[in-house]
Amino acid sequence: MEGDRQKTDVAKHWNENADQWTRDVRAGFDVYRDKFTFPAFLDALPAIKGLDVIDFGCGEGTNTRALARMGARVTGIDLSDRMIEHARRTEESDPLGIEYNVTSYSDHCGIPDASFDAVLSTMALMDGPDFPGAMREAYRLLRPGGFILFSVLHPCFITPGLGWEKDDEGRTTGLRVARYFDGSSFTEHWRFGNRPKDEDVLPFAVPRFPSTISDYLNAVASAGFMITNIGEPQPSHAACEAVPRFSRWRDLGGFLLLVGARRP
């Protein structure tokens, strides 16, 4: 089946990315996560102390460990067994009580129904081929009254035809949005912009599965959730001062979409 083939491809790419990704993230090169996307997620997150929480697309576990330090009982799942190896190794050396499982967040993960108070996911759900399946699995795993909060690249601005407009002096003046309705999957190749330029590393290969905002919101509603909040956070002024290129996402376009919903 096409969906199974795509998930196999996603796992293959993230297994290949895993070692360099883990080194780069833990070295502080992922400034978008550290100074923008994860702080924005935490600003939108209700109190989770004492809750049973599952992290969809946990990767090597940096965000998952932050959630555990907030007092939650956390499980992390990811399709990449190599990413989970890194997460488990850190858990063994510095235990926080986190359980990690290698599984897809859009299939039945083997955990019983109604096991969690919250499903959380930070910048991962846009990288899987079956977002509606992820919403159905989140609904299954949640207890009545439980909630989901997830962040993804903003689908209205991060499109397959994205490009920056510049004036004659080379100053960025606008964001070009194109091919918004093109849902064709593709593999993007990039490196963290803050890593040393003189280091020769292979770019990450990241499968992308473009969706429209209606694809996201309708899948949440169709799974049975009641949407409670939508966020489009901008980088803070302090973040823009620390990383000047962030100002493009403050002044010219939206980078991040946050969606919160509750299981009735």
- Which helix (DSSP H) or strand (DSSP E) does residue 76 occupy? strand 73-78
Over the stretch 194-236, which tens digit does the pLDDT of each residue have?
A: 887 767 788 999 999 999 999 999 999 999 999 999 999 999 9
What are the Cα distances from residue 252, in Å, to 37, 88, 201? 17, 40, 31
Averaged pLDDT, 106-111 = 96
Task: Round to whole Å and give the CA distance between 67 and 72.
Answer: 6
Phi first, then psi: give them for residue 258, nearest 5 degrees: -115, 135
Q: Please answer whether residues 141 and 119 qualify as being in contact, where contact means their C-beta atoms are separated by less than 8 angstroms.
A: yes
Task: Round to whole Å and give the CA distance between 63 and 76.
Answer: 10
- Which helix (DSSP H) or strand (DSSP E) does residue 122 occupy? strand 116-122
What are the Cα distances from residue 226, in Å, to 135, 137, 144, 148, 264? 12, 15, 12, 10, 7
Q: Given the structure tokens 């799974």, which residue do they identify?
A: 223
Task: Round to whole Å and give the CA distance between 24 and 30.
Answer: 7
Averaged pLDDT, 108-115 = 97
Q: Please answer whether residues 239 and 246 qualify as being in contact, where contact means their C-beta atoms are separated by less than 8 angstroms.
A: yes
**Residue 25 has what pLDDT?**
95
Answer yes or no: is pLDDT of 126 > 90. Answer: yes
What are the Cα distances from residue 96, in Å, to 83, 189, 250? 18, 33, 35
Beta bridge partners of 101: 77
Q: Please answer whether residues 78 and 84 qualify as being in contact, where contact means their C-beta atoms are separated by less than 8 angstroms.
A: yes
Q: Beta strands of 133-238 (E only): which ranges? A: 142-153, 163-166, 172-176, 186-190, 204-208, 226-231
Superfamily (CATH H level) for 1-154+212-246+253-263: Vaccinia Virus protein VP39 (3.40.50.150)
The token duo for 135 is 């919403």
Over the stretch 154-206, which tens digit does the pLDDT of each residue have?
A: 999 999 999 999 999 999 999 999 999 999 999 999 999 888 776 778 899 99
Enumerate residues 6+ apart whose C-beta is below 8 A from 2.
Answer: none
**Residue 193 has what pLDDT?**
83
Over the stretch 43-92, which tens digit does the pLDDT of each residue have?
A: 999 999 999 999 999 999 999 999 999 999 999 999 999 999 999 999 99
Domain range summary for the chain, segments of one domain joined by +: 1-154+212-246+253-263
For every residue of 143-156, DSSP letters joined together read EEEEEEEEEEE-TT
Binned at pLDDT 50, 70 and 90, residue 1 comes out as low
Over the stretch 9-20, which tens digit does the pLDDT of each residue have?
A: 999 999 999 999
